[in-house]
Amino acid sequence: MSQIIAIQSVSLDGFSAGANQDLEHPLGVGGPDLFSWFFPTETFQRMHGEGGGSRGIDDAFAQRSFVDVGAWIMGRNMFGPVRGDWPDESWRGWWGDNPPYHVPVFVLTHHPRPPLAMAGGTTFHFVTAGAEDALRHAQQAAAGKRIRIGGGAATIRQYLPRIDELHLALSPVLLGAGEPLFAGLNVRQLGFTVAESAVGENATHFILRRTQLK
């Protein structure tokens, strides 16, 4: 069985995306502030074909979330802004021709669409049979490597009872509104404890691990 991991940036007031996501605001209004720790890192810069970038603690945490990942699962809203039926196959993700995944990516959607193979080894598979089915596919594809739940918040919340390790990157900002990560969930009852914490240059990092409850 693969280990299931996720990483979410959260604001001080508990949001992991801003309100009113759309084509101009894929992270919602104010959402990019959540990622101001991530953008300057070498890991992010390299993912987007750029050189340079910081190599401190924030980068170390960004980097480890990509190590040994054999499959991704993401919600449809992370894949793109299209809602409802796919009008055509022109939307190919936010990431250009060579997305930064390089493994199979299972996209949760209610609307079927053929698999989409991109440059660099990323293939988007559109799963209409639900979260458990996506997880089965991801387990097969990952072949023992880690499965990363990509987001957004609703997808993380859905998989939380199955996630083994959740990395929270707390950004020192207030969003006021948006998608709350934990609201209404009892993460302690789900078995999570804070296993590790570290202060980065622009965020504070917490590794939450889920252990089986007695």
Neighbours of 79 (CB within 10 A): 22
Nearest distance, CB of residue 84 and its own copies, angstroms: 29
Q: What's the Cα-to-Cα distance from 113 to each of 28, 104, 105, 118, 141, rounded to whole Å?
A: 26, 15, 14, 15, 19
Q: Which residues in the 171-190 window bind its own copies by CB under 8 A? A: 172-177, 180, 182-183, 185-190
Nearest distance, CB of residue 57 and its own copies, angstroms: 11
Determine if 14 is a binding residue for its own copies (CB under 8 A).
yes
Question: Per CB under 8 A, which region of 1-9, 59-67, 85-93, 199-207 contacts its own copies?
Answer: 199-207
Determine if 211 is a binding residue for its own copies (CB under 8 A).
no
Question: Per CB under 8 A, which region of 49-57, 90-98, 155-163, 170-178 contacts its own copies?
Answer: 170-178
Determine if 153 is a binding residue for its own copies (CB under 8 A).
no
Q: How far apart are CA 116 and CA 35, in angstroms?
A: 27
Identity of the residue numbered 91: W
User: Among 20, 128, 140, 197, which residue sits at the site for its own copies (rule: CB under 8 A)?
Assistant: 197
Residue number with CB closer to its own copies (128 or 197): 197
Question: Per CB under 8 A, which region of 11-19, 46-54, 134-142, 152-160 contacts its own copies?
Answer: 11-19
Give the interface size with its own copies as a residue count (CB under 8 A): 29
User: Among 199, 212, 213, 214, which residue sits at the site for its own copies (rule: CB under 8 A)?
Assistant: 199
Q: Which residues in the 20-79 window bind its own copies by CB under 8 A? A: 30
CA proximity to 101, closest of 125, 81, 135, 84: 125
User: Among 4, 74, 147, 168, which residue sits at the site for its own copies (rule: CB under 8 A)?
Assistant: 168
Binding site for its own copies (CB under 8 A): 12-14, 30, 168, 170, 172-177, 180, 182-183, 185-190, 192-194, 197, 199, 204, 206, 208
